């Protein structure tokens, strides 16, 4: 691994992160929150200064072609270090506002990984800080690396390795010859949808500031809201339906959305096998939950379907916002919601978790292996969208799933021992690893928070959130001995 490449790439990214840290200053000035101006200014200056320092360690940093031959290991390392450094920078405003270091890191990591778990016990905090929470999620939702591949000319060629290092899904989908164009198109769609969500929420009667924060949190599948009762706190079915629609969009591939808009053919959605799988399973699970709500909680048909579809989609897409306090629901309903936490969204979406493509691939793999029990000489291939999936991709997917559930099991075991609560241990482990946010129980449920948990538990959550957002592989690279064989 060439240290100068790592320093150059990381320095470029951190320099621009510094500029984004200045954006909340506009809200601090508008709401006359003078103390917050300093906190965001310090965060921005720190990012700019450290980024410039890293770039100066490489004498060739001004050469735009230097990064064009960046290796996969180097790209994976840059992706991991970028998210770690962004977490530290994002935590600075919280430190200035009286939060402890571990709580500041928890809120910052939860924001940039779009997890949505919070340590806030009161929402009586500066509005600029509430905006920062949602803005962090919006930046992290589509990917920090993807953003800078789109706007930095130095990543024109190296962007391909950087792009896939941040979200190493089972397939490498693209729709333009240049990865920079792909990244730019994704962010155009992402920004446009966020603006449309703001307009729709404002038209539905939500205050403009709340519209901006909730729109950014929804399109990023993050879930942070300036309302302490989340979306349910607005007491409007119209707002619930609007958020539901944009949550569903956030859970689909933005690459596919760009392709649909470019070709002006909505039928392309249904031609995607992953999209069909995603849509059908959301409908099936939501309908089952609606039936339980109708029978066990005396909900009307409309209320049952509204509540069930919203909560299942919110957990499946890892958005984590809530329209109802599902802590009060029956055990049957909670088990269905717990199952929903493992579903996930589509590859290339803003959502976290396993991704529907992997579940689809695993399902087909198991189906083929069962068939081979009866027909051992059969030669069968796995296809997704009529394209044969290679054996290396299948093996990597199986490895990912094993790592994912191993990390889930170990963290659930440790948290259960520390907190002496099985519900907190199991549900919070998947909520943090999958980027979901709220879990089950009165403490960390939809209207609860993570502030009362131990420092050890919060540390596990921070690691889980970062590992889950990076989809495990880039994070594991940091622990490989070969990665740290440094050279120029």
On the 0-12 / 13-18 / 19+ scale of CB atoms within 10 A, 13 is buried
pLDDT at position 175: 44
In the DSSP assignment, the letter for residue 418 is H
Let me know: does 321 contact 218? Beta carbons within 8 Å. yes
Give the residue from 382, 459, 433 showing the smallest Cα distance to 115.
Answer: 433
pLDDT at position 44: 94
Give the residue from 469, 255, 270 showing the smallest Cα distance to 349.
Answer: 255
pLDDT at position 1: 64
Q: What is the pTM of this model?
A: 0.89
Residues of the chain predicted below pLDDT 50? 61, 63-64, 150-152, 157, 159, 172-177
Q: How many Å apart are CA 151 and CA 383, to the nearest integer?
A: 35
Q: What is the pLDDT of residues 33-86, one digit of tens each?
A: 988 999 999 999 999 999 888 877 766 545 445 556 667 777 777 878 888 999
End-to-end CA distance of the chain: 8
Backbone angles phi, psi at 223, to 5 degrees: 100, -15
pLDDT at position 59: 60
Helix (H) or strand (E) run with residue 383 in it: strand 383-384
Q: Which long-range contacts (CB under 8 A, 24 or more apart) does 360-368 make?
A: 360/273, 360/274, 360/277, 360/384, 361/170, 361/389, 361/393, 361/394, 361/397, 362/397, 362/398, 362/401, 365/394, 365/398
Q: How is 312-370 classified by DSSP, letter by letter?
A: HHHHHTT----SS-GGGS-HHHHHHHHHHTTT---TTSS--SS-HHHHHHHHHHHHHHH
pLDDT at position 37: 94
- Token digits for 213? 């924060």
pLDDT at position 332: 92
Give the residue from 430, 401, 348 showing the smallest Cα distance to 143.
Answer: 348
Q: How is 65-99 classified by DSSP, letter by letter?
A: TGGGG--HHHHHHHHHHHHHHHHHHHHHHHHHTT-
């Amino acid at each position: 691994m060439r240290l100068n490449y790592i320093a150059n790439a990381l320095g470029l990214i951190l320099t621009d992160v510094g500029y984004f840290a200045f954006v909340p200053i506009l809200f601090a000035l508008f709401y006359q929150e003078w103390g917050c101006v300093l906190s965001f200014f310090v965060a921005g200056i720190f990012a700019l200064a450290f980024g410039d320092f890293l770039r100066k360690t490489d004498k060739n940093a001004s050469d735009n072609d230097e990064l064009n031959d960046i290796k996969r290991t180097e790209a994976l390392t840059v992706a991991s270090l970028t998210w770690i450094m962004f977490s530290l920078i994002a935590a600075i405003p919280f430190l200035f506002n009286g939060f402890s270091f571990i709580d500041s890191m928890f809120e910052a990591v939860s924001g940039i990984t779009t997890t949505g778990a919070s340590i806030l016990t009161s929402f009586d905090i500066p509005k600029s800080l509430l905006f920062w929470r949602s803005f962090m999620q919006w930046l992290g939702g589509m990917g920090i690396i993807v953003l800078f591949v789109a706007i930095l000319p130095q990543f024109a060629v190296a962007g391909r390795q950087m792009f896939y290092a941040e979200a190493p899904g089972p397939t490498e989908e693209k729709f333009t010859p240049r990865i920079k164009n792909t990244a730019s198109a994704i962010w155009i769609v992402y920004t446009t949808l966020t603006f449309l969500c703001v307009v729709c929420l404002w038209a539905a009667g939500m205050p403009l500031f709340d519209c901006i924060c909730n729109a950014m949190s929804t399109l990023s599948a993050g879930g942070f809201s300036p309302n302490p009762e989340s979306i349910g706190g607005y007491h409007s079915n119209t707002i619930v339906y609007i958020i539901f629609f944009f949550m569903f969009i956030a859970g689909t591939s933005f690459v596919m959305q760009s392709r649909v808009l470019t070709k002006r053919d909505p039928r392309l959605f249904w031609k995607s096998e992953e999209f069909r799988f995603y849509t059908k399973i959301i409908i099936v699970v939501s309908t089952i939950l609606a039936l339980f709500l109708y029978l066990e909680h005396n909900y009307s048909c409309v209320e049952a379907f509204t509540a069930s579809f919203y909560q299942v989609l919110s957990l499946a897409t890892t958005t984590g916002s809530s329209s109802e306090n599902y802590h009060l629901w029956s055990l049957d309903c909670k088990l269905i919601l717990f199952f929903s936490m493992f579903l996930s969204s589509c590859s290339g979406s803003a959502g976290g978790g396993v991704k529907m493509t992997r579940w689809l691939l695993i399902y087909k793999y198991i189906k083929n292996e069962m068939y081979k029990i009866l027909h051992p000489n059969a030669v069968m291939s796995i296809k997704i969208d009529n394209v044969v999936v290679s054996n290396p991709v299948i093996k990597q997917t199986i490895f990912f799933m094993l790592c994912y559930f191993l990390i889930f099991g170990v963290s659930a075991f440790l948290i259960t021992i520390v907190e002496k609560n099985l519900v907190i241990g199991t549900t919070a482990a998947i909520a943090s690893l999958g980027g979901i946010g709220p879990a089950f129980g009165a403490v960390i449920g939809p209207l609860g928070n993570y502030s009362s948990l131990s420092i050890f538990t919060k540390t596990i959550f921070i690691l889980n959130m970062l590992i889950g957002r990076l989809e495990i592989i880039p994070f594991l690279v940091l622990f490989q001995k070969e990665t740290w064989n440094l050279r120029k």
